Structure 1
């Protein structure tokens, strides 16, 4: 009984973010060692809300699909303004950075499970290996977020020397030295964790909150895409799609022609956006990790830019996630701009639309143009009337134009949710497609005049290490 009470207390403590006494790079809650003994104790740890709530929001403001509009822009926080303006420092010296605190809390839990579960009691060897595999893949997801926030985009020519992120393999809050591994070392670490995990993961998802084999395969495919390793990415993304096709657990694309049709599941569409299923019932979610939607549902300060809105055809049902009217009411935004009206909590784990779009992109890059066309149209036919879904021949028969179309489709699918920032990073080191990254953010007046323009410098494709973390860890090297 005492063991069970300790585990429940731990989960509550982790979920609420109680701070421990040790101040270090690992801003985590436990003071000492998690008390777990039985295999099921470690199973419960993987249900912790700490793992699912990853409230890293500033990348939403930094995407090139966003604009700003007054007078709303003047009323948002200084952190939010600094993010939109691509400033060097987002945080004050006394402020915690959620891009550090949430992932490292999750990292602590994963390391506990990885290092201890095989010696637990009451479970079979297969059960223990499966739990360790979930934690390995979960740790890999965390590190993919960290290295794509606090390190330069992966560049094969410089990755072996570019500062990455500290690799922490132990659940030890007394650690006080955190040297930064290189970008290559971090990516190798992610790949190794996923390769070790995949054979022992369930081939069929059994809960959206928990890692499965197709989720890990998709994550490995995404990692390879970020590394520019397109053949390897295609192999893993295809494996994920194959496993999903055989799954008895409902993980699929929603057909917006149905969900927004008469009596549809996503109706009514209100000032808060469509009526969506919650995180754990959303059938497009393969691995449920969520963040807060700073610019979704009820915010007017950072609407989608005029160029972004112009990417959508009139019959594109993704327009239901946009509103040209401020919240809660008022005159329409100028220049056709629109606020993002949902989802309230964007899913940033692994989602089915992302798998389709990633595979379409790598197929196009590898000159499988018919295959790429088929994948993107399989998504588009679920987002608009079938007659409007086909990619025009003038686009689909040319590699460069098709890749650009797929990149624009990624904006149409994920606008305002933070995904674009990570695409901008990888595209910035892509000699063929770096011109697709817009480096200007504009603040507009209420009548549509450009009041201020901010320019993205290459250095700010990487977050600086937050000042509070640097002060607590004097030996840690900052980014430029």
Structure 2
């Protein structure tokens, strides 16, 4: 009996230890405590932690894809099935939360150690590491906000719940949720430091650079509805790095035609495994499929005919060259779309047209694309938004786009899922757009749950 009780007690301690890591985790205690710039370099080079496993609940709930009833019922992960039908039930997958905070914790460790080092020993490396840490922290915060918070409206952001803003590596410190306004304020502040510290080109693959920081600011301001600043930062990113892939040069018969770290990637990042939304399982929304013109090469580079459902299409255009997770990083093509949308909203019609035309010329068969000439902003804006959805398919942006566009009566939509005889809907601006926090964070961490 004593042996049995000892085993039970040991298991309890193990469970308790794992539960206390709901917000972030200290690195393995067997590792050397970082003390030098080179130690910090190794911490920032941990690609599997810093560039991967970002939340995917939002995209699992988006309208860019659908499943058959059989496929949905056969899904092994209950949380993913619930996300697909917007079930307002407790979510147990704490990794959606914990993995992003592991990025935050690593970034905070770097910043903490940097305070103890003399920047004059290697000014370039010191500055770059400082910029990387601020960038990664902001990027992780932004992914969390996009999943667990409502859409940003300036007039109500101070009263909306944001995320816990952990700004130091002390994991025992109790940090509650900040407001949505303060959450974005911290994200923008971190990116501003990154802009001041990062080099134009980073010598390490997978690490952010100046163009990455400009691009991230453009994305953040677009999500906030600040179109003037979104335009300025997207324009800065394009001015620094205007490169686009000419899709005529990509082999359309390849199973995965785009290489990882291709020339449009400004910062690589991927979600955790998407399971039911895997490219070779899920079907791209049928209406969206028909929106690609025959001479639009995305029609063959992004889509392929399904072998399991007649007439359906799978997605194959991953910028991570994979089928099991989503590329959620930053790309030059996204910056063209941010600039074009912001420009038309600001009345800069000629800039919007030249920007979107530059992008689309690189997407259509050579000699087939005719420049857009629409000068009516009310007509041009929906056209640009449609191109945004077609271009950023399976790229981790649709859920955030739905949230911000639902705030505009012209673009808000009700989402619908059909599974056999059951129909599920998600109304515009539903509180379900802010996912429930994992129960372990709420119950053990004392963090307020999203209101319903």
Displacement after TM superposition at 1:351 (Å)? 1.0
SS at structure 2 position matched to 1:222: helix
- Does 1:216 pair with 2:213? yes
Matches within 5 A, 1:140-159: 140-159=138-157
Q: Which residue in 1 is equivalent to 2:8? A: none
Kindly report which structure 2 residues correspond to 1:165-180, keeping only aligned pairs within 5 A, or say none: 165-175=163-173, 177-180=174-177
In 1, Cα distance between equivalents of 2:297 and 2:381? 22
2: CA distance between counterparts of 1:391 and 1:455?
A: 38
**Corresponding position of 1:441:** 416
Residue 57 of structure 1 is matched in structure 2 by: 56
Aligned with 2:291 (options 294, 297, 311):
311
Normalised TM-score (structure 2)? 0.87
Tell me whether 1:254 sits opposite 2:245 in the alignment: yes
Structure 1 range deviating more: 113-122 or 80-89: 113-122
Partner residue of 1:248? none
Tell whether the 8 Å contact from 2:349 to 2:377 is kept in structure 1 after alignment.
yes
| TM-score normalised by length of structure 1 | 0.82
More moved, 62-71 vs 362-371: 62-71
Q: Cα–Cα, structure 1 residues 157 and 454, in superposed 2: closer, same or farther, change >3 Å?
A: same
Aligned residue number for residue 87 of structure 2 = 87
Secondary structure of residue in 2 paired with 1:138: helix
What is residue 36 of structure 1 aligned with on the other side? 34
Offset at residue 99 of structure 1 (A): 2.2
Question: Does structure 1 retain, via aligned residues, the 8 Å contact 2:128–2:199?
Answer: yes
Q: Cα distance 1:107–1:355, how it changes in 2: closer, same or farther (>3 A)?
A: same
Q: Residue 54 of structure 2 contacts residue 143 of structure 2 at CA under 8 Å; is this kept in 1?
A: no
What is the distance in 1 between the residues matched to 2:259 and 2:28? 37
SS at match of 1:339: strand
> For each residue in 1:3-48, what CA deviation from the matched residue of structure 2 results, as whole angstroms up to 9, or x when unmatched?
xxxxxxxxxxxxxxxx965714424243679701111111111101
Counterpart check, 1:469 vs 2:441: yes
Does 1:46 find its partner at 2:44? yes
TM-aligned CA distance change 1:59 to 1:365, over 3 Å: same
Residue 324 of structure 1: aligned partner: 305
Displacement after TM superposition at 1:434 (Å) = 3.1
Which structure 2 residue ranges, 5 or more long, are not aligned? 1-15
Aligned to 2:423: 453
The size of the alignment, in residue pairs, is 424
**Mapped contact 1:194–1:216 kept (Cα < 8 A):** yes
- The structure 2 residue matched to 1:422, chosen from 387, 400, 412, is 400
* Aligned equivalent of 1:198: 195
Tell me which residue corresponds to 1:384: 364
Q: Residue 415 of structure 1: CA displacement?
A: 2.0
- Offset of 1:165 from its aligned partner? 0.5
In 2, Cα distance between equivalents of 1:465 and 1:444 = 26
Alignment-derived partner of residue 338 in structure 1: 313
Shift in Å, 1:220: 0.9
Report the alpha carbon displacement of residue 392 of structure 1 after superposing the two structures with TM: 4.2
Spell out, residue by residue over 1:411-447, the C-alpha distance to the aligned partner (whole angstroms, 9 max, x if none). Answer: 111223332111101112234x433xx32223266xx
Q: 1:208 to 1:388 in 2, by over 3 A?
A: farther
Which residue does 1:78 correspond to in 2?
78
Q: Which moved more, 1:109-118 or 1:67-76?
A: 67-76
